[in-house]
Amino acid sequence: MASKSKVQIIQPSTDLRKRAVNFKTGFGVILSPQETQKLQLVVEKSSDQFTRQIGEKLKALREEFGALEDGEAPPLRLVERVVADALEIKGLGGTFKFPLLTQIAKSLHDYATQIREPNAWNTVIVGHHIDALYVVLAQRITGLGGRIEAELLKALRAASTKFK
């Protein structure tokens, strides 16, 4: 049991609040719909940059995986790049109205993270994920897509579980 003297409560610093919170200038403590919309425009402005940047990453990954021979395992450094890129896509997709990208990237990240000794199955499964991401981006499938996209995601997850 913790003794009374060892657990202390420290009152919060109110310096920042005193400096920044007021009744005249700035954004509301709770955002109004207009303020939210204003901020949303900032995100939308970066949308083209996002599709370009992610498109380039996926293109490069596709080329590297495409260059592997049939039955060849991906080198570990390539797997590490997949892990990093998948996490990045997972983190950004939904913000730019591509939640399906986020979901596929999560599936890819979960799969690639557990690869210790790459094998030929990894090439196939990672390759399918990359192709799926590429298609979603190229076709500008915003939102979660429809039945086909849901089936695709389910298939990718099932394959990831089966072929480690």
Partner 1 sequence: MAEKIDFSKVRFLIVDPNPLALQMLNDILSMLGANYVRRATDYDKAMDVLKEGNIDILITEREITPKNGIELVDYIRHDPSSRDRLLPVIVLTARSEEPFVVEARDHGANEFVAKPYTVDSLYKRLSAVIAYPRSFVSAPGYFGPERRRKQLPFNGTERRGVDPNAPKG
Is the C-alpha dihedral spanning 84, 130, 123, 105 positive or negative? positive
Question: How far, in Å, CA of 14 to CA of 78, rounded?
Answer: 48
80 binds partner 1 (CB under 8 A): no
Q: Which of 65, 74, 79, 90 binds partner 1 (CB under 8 A)?
A: 90
93 binds partner 1 (CB under 8 A): yes
14 binds partner 1 (CB under 8 A): yes
38 binds partner 1 (CB under 8 A): yes
Residue among 100, 151, 162, 105 at smallest CA distance from 130: 105
Half-sphere exposure of 69 (CA within 13 A, CB side): 2
CA dihedral 88, 74, 80, 148 (to 10 degrees): 20
Q: Which of 55, 92, 107, 116 binds partner 1 (CB under 8 A)?
A: 92
7 binds partner 1 (CB under 8 A): yes
Residue 64 Cβ vs partner 1, minimum distance, rounded to whole Å: 20
Binding segment for partner 1 (CB under 8 A), chosen from 20-28, 69-77, 146-154, 156-164, is 20-28
Question: How far, in Å, CA of 112 to CA of 103, rounded?
Answer: 14
56 binds partner 1 (CB under 8 A): no
31 binds partner 1 (CB under 8 A): yes
Closer residue to partner 1 in complex, CB, 90/129: 90
Q: Coil, helix or strand for 81? A: helix
Closer residue to partner 1 in complex, CB, 5/117: 5
Q: What are the CB-based long-range contacts (under 8 Å, 24+) for 68-71?
A: 68/123, 71/120
Binding region for partner 1 (CB under 8 A): 1-17, 19-31, 36, 38-40, 42-43, 45-46, 49-50, 53, 87-88, 90-96, 99, 102
